[in-house]
Amino acid sequence: MKATQFLPDVQKTLEARGEPAYRLKQAYAAITESLVRDWDEATSLPKALREALSEEVPAATLEIVRIARATDGTRKYLFKAHDGHLIETVMIPEKGRNTVCISTQVGCAMGCKFCATGLLGIKRNLNAREIAEQVFVAARDVAPERISNVVVMGMGEPMLNYNATLLALKVLNDSDGFGLAARHIAVSTSGLVDKIRRFADEPEQFHLAISLHTPFEEERREIMPVASRHSIPELMSAAQYFVDKTRRKLFFEYTLLAGVNDQPRHVVALAKLLDHPLYHLNMLRFNWTDTGFEATSKKDAKAFLYHARDRGLSATLRPSRGEDIDAACGQLAAKDLRGKPELLPVVPAV
């Protein structure tokens, strides 16, 4: 079923040629397991079929325009889709793990005031192939190491492209596909409450992160327009539904903005709002974008973290990665990378 949904164009070509049904499974495995970007690499398929597929349905749907590497090892991939639209993907290497941050839309409709992607507006949704392929490219790039985690926190609001995003994640999770454990996959949303409830009802054990950024209603409406649709009480009701239904930890994303949401009163309110053993506050200092905001100082961010923990909150302050190539959270805007740090040659994995 996943192969049929994920590769409908390939199935159509196979059926037109009168190929046996198992050829679709072979093609699916070639893309999701062997990570081929050219059908010539799919040696499990007959040569004549490979040639036919290459003419009609390319194995790769995204063109790799360039790969940039930050001083901390973070890599940012600039892709061009078939219609010329650009998207960005980030791979973050850490000791013992490689995390890929993927995009689900070209641009974003949510308009969060501190996010560069929001300045682009929305162009279109990505399809499931385009979403999953970002991971496949990163996996080829780091081979023989493996991708250990996928976070859907790049360009776009995943819950506004729900079906394609979910299909892509199911393929990444598929034991007959990419084979990444569901608990190593996390989706971030700006807070669409109906989709949070729907996501909680899915059988897969994917993690969820909700962008909160302030515990105060008026402030949240000011920096996150989505808050005018769903109040904080509505959001927290959906959060409660998620943890009650899944019994999984729920993450709340919190970008520290100097003088905006980093005051002692915010800690006090957060401690009340997130008073649940399965709630975790993920904090990150603002990464510069041309939006008029400034980052909370490192000293003040640590003080905010310690204050939160003293109040009983489960909380983490994450380091920013890839800032020198505009690859950190909130910075993805498909800008031209010319003149940026070292560019890596695009070399297929062996």
> What pLDDT score does 328 carry?
46
CA triple 5-204-234, angle to 5 deg: 110
Identify the CATH number of the domain defined by range 63-344. 3.20.20.70
Q: How confident is the model at residue 344 (pLDDT cuts 50, 70, 90)?
A: very low
Residue 326 pLDDT greater than 70, yes or no: no
Q: How confident is the model at residue 333 (pLDDT cuts 50, 70, 90)?
A: low
Secondary-structure percent of the chain, ordered helix, strand, coil, rounded to 5: 40, 20, 40
Q: How confident is the model at residue 227 (pLDDT cuts 50, 70, 90)?
A: confident
3-class secondary structure, 151:
strand
Residue 297 pLDDT greater than 70, yes or no: yes
Q: How confident is the model at residue 319 (pLDDT cuts 50, 70, 90)?
A: confident
Q: Rounded to an integer, what distance in angstroms lies between the CA atom of residue 126 and that of residue 134?
A: 11
Residue 338 pLDDT greater than 50, yes or no: no
Catalytic residue among 55, 145, 329, 342: 329
Give the E-state strand segments of the chain in sequence order: 63-69, 75-80, 86-94, 97-101, 105-107, 122-125, 149-152, 185-189, 207-211, 250-256, 279-285, 315-318, 343-344
Give the tens place of pLDDT for each residue, 96-138.
Answer: 899 999 999 998 888 888 887 777 788 999 999 999 999 999 9
Residue 324 pLDDT greater than 60, yes or no: no
Rounded alpha-carbon distances, angstroms, from residue 252 to 87, 104, 166: 25, 20, 20
Residue 163 pLDDT greater than 90, yes or no: yes
> Residue 329 catalytic?
yes
Give the tens place of pLDDT for each residue, 21-50.
Answer: 999 999 999 999 999 999 999 999 999 999
> What pLDDT score does 1 carry?
60
Q: Which residue has the tokens 């729907």?
A: 198
Listed residue (67, 92, 165) closest to 321, CA to CA: 92
User: Cβ(25)–Cβ(336) under 8 Å?
Assistant: no
Phi, psi of 344 (to 5 degrees): -90, 140
> What pLDDT score does 299 carry?
96
User: What residue spans in the chain does CATH classification 3.20.20.70 cover?
Assistant: 63-344
- Work out whether the CA dihedral 349, 1, 55, 42 comes out positive or negative: positive
> What pLDDT score does 340 carry?
41
Residue 61 pLDDT greater than 60, yes or no: yes
Residue 11 pLDDT greater than 90, yes or no: yes
Give the tens place of pLDDT for each residue, 200-217.
Answer: 999 999 999 999 999 999
DSSP secondary structure code for residue 37 in this structure: S
Sheet containing 207-211: order of strands: 315-318, 279-285, 250-256, 207-211, 185-189, 149-152, 97-101, 86-94, 75-80, 63-69, 343-344
% of the chain at pLDDT higher than 90:
78
Catalytic residue among 88, 133, 157, 323: 88
Mean pLDDT, range 73-92, rounded to an integer = 93
Distance, C-alpha 259 to centroid of its chain: 28
Q: Rounded to an integer, what distance in angstroms lies between the CA atom of residue 185 and that of residue 179?
A: 11
Rounded alpha-carbon distances, angstroms, from residue 221 to 197, 216, 218, 232, 261: 21, 9, 5, 10, 13
Listed residue (249, 248, 328, 341) closest to 289, CA to CA: 328
> What pLDDT score does 117 carry?
74
**What average pLDDT does the structure give for the chain?**
90
> What pLDDT score does 109 carry?
86
> Residue 108 catalytic?
no
Residue 291 pLDDT greater than 80, yes or no: no
Q: Rounded to an integer, what distance in angstroms lies between the CA atom of residue 207 and that of residue 246?
A: 10
